Amino acid sequence: MVVMLLLGNWQLSRAQEKEARQEQLERLSQQSAVAISTISANLEDLKFRRVEARGSYVPAHTIYLDNKIYQGIAGYHIITPLRLGTSSMHVLVNRGWIVAGGDRSKLPEIVTPTEQVVVSGIAISPTQRTLELSTETVSGQVWENLHLERYREATGLMLQPVVILQQDDLKDGLVRQWDRPDSGAARNLGYAFQWYAMALTILIIYLVLSVKRERSQKKQT
């Protein structure tokens, strides 16, 4: 019982840590936007912060992230690199969701601005892996997962270590309703409940057996 109670307490402390971290991330997302420069940045300095990037899209290197669901409908997330100013540095922009057509061999057409733009949004880690059913995870412009190093190798582009979840209100046919990242505290709370429940079960079993033992001893006397 003591061990299980200690494990339950540890899971509660982990949940509290994650909730505190989530509150910190919420504060970061409400702060003034940080401009993404042409100098290579640190992921942790930008992660979950509001950012802005000025430059020109490179539509030739647009990829379609497959199996993205919005309101129960399958589609793609559109990832396009933005060249920062006139430099050789780029940042990837998740421009939003678009429905997949009935013919999967034909990709939906995307309108990409040709002029210089200012993109605003939330910076996230580019590592957003999901289950890969095979080693063939890239088919032309369609990718199952975004791997920054794999993308660098495929395009030869110099990239910042973040992806911008674009939040600009544009009439371009792309949906930009992003889910808030889950802190994961609920899982720890669930584990804590399980440990406490197991400790309670052991206590009940102990009490029941103790009562039976006492009754058996009284009968013998």
pLDDT at 162 over 50: yes
Structure tokens at 210: 């103790």
pLDDT at 137 over 60: no
What is the spatial distance between Cα 128 and Cα 210, in angstroms, rounded to a whole number? Answer: 53
**Which long-range contacts link 58-64 to residues 24+ away (Cβ below 8 Å)?**
58/82, 58/83, 58/90, 58/157, 59/110, 59/112, 61/155, 61/157, 62/110, 62/112, 62/141, 63/141, 63/142, 63/143, 63/146, 63/151, 64/107, 64/141, 64/142, 64/143
pLDDT at 180 over 70: no
Over range 215-219, report the average pLDDT: 74
Note whether 168 and 121 are within 8 A (CB). yes
Higher pLDDT, 81 or 190: 81
Over range 62-91, report the average pLDDT: 95
Parallel, antiparallel or unpaired: strands 89-99 and 142-143: unpaired
Average pLDDT, the chain: 87
Higher pLDDT, 219 or 81: 81
Note whether 43 and 125 are within 8 A (CB). yes
pLDDT at 76 over 70: yes
Of 58-72, 116-130, 156-170, which range is least confident? Answer: 116-130
What is the spatial distance between Cα 1 and Cα 3, in angstroms, rounded to a whole number? Answer: 5
| Most confidently predicted of 30-39, 50-59, 168-177 | 50-59
Phi/psi zone of residue 88: left (φ > 0), alpha (ψ -120 to 50 degrees), beta?
alpha
Spell out a b/e string for 147-164, using b for 16 or more CB atoms within 10 Å of the CB, else e.
bbeebeeeeebebbbbbb
Note whether 36 and 91 are within 8 A (CB). yes
Its pTM surpasses 0.75: no
Note whether 61 and 80 are within 8 A (CB). yes
Higher pLDDT, 218 or 144: 144
Among candidates 146, 164, 162, which has minimal Cα distance to 154? 146
Structure tokens at 136: 């063939």
What is the spatial distance between Cα 219 and Cα 215, in angstroms, rounded to a whole number? Answer: 6
Structure tokens at 173: 């046919």
